[in-house]
């Protein structure tokens, strides 16, 4: 029964539009959140924003590449 419920959710999240949104969210995090953390001298927040941004970009790229196959 769990498989019936999760299949539409997973297939809905594997669209090119969702991949583009993830990549844009990652770029936003890398550009604006890291910059704001550096201005306020919040080192750990900057590191977390950088790691999170790259995770979003990698996840979006993985979904986009997965859609090609």
- Token output for 35: 């910059």
The more confident residue out of 4 and 30 is 30
Judge contact between 60 and 27, C-beta under 8 A: no
pTM for this structure? 0.80
pLDDT digits (tens, 9 = 90+) for 14-68: 788 999 999 999 999 999 999 999 999 999 999 999 999 999 999 999 999 988 8
- Going by C-alpha positions, the residue among 56, 14, 12, 15 that lies closest to residue 34 is 56
In this structure, are residues 29 and 56 in contact, taking their beta carbons and an 8 Å threshold?
yes
- Cβ contact 23:61 at 8 Å: yes
Q: How far apart are CA 50 and CA 35, in angstroms?
A: 10
What's residue 4's pLDDT?
57
């Amino acid at each position: 029964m769990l498989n019936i419920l999760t299949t539409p959710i997973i297939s809905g999240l594997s669209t090119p539009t969702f991949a583009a949104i993830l990549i844009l969210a990652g770029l936003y995090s890398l550009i604006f959140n890291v910059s704001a953390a550096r201005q306020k001298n919040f080192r750990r927040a900057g590191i977390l924003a950088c790691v999170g941004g790259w995770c979003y970009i990698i996840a979006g790229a993985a979904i986009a590449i997965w859609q090609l196959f």
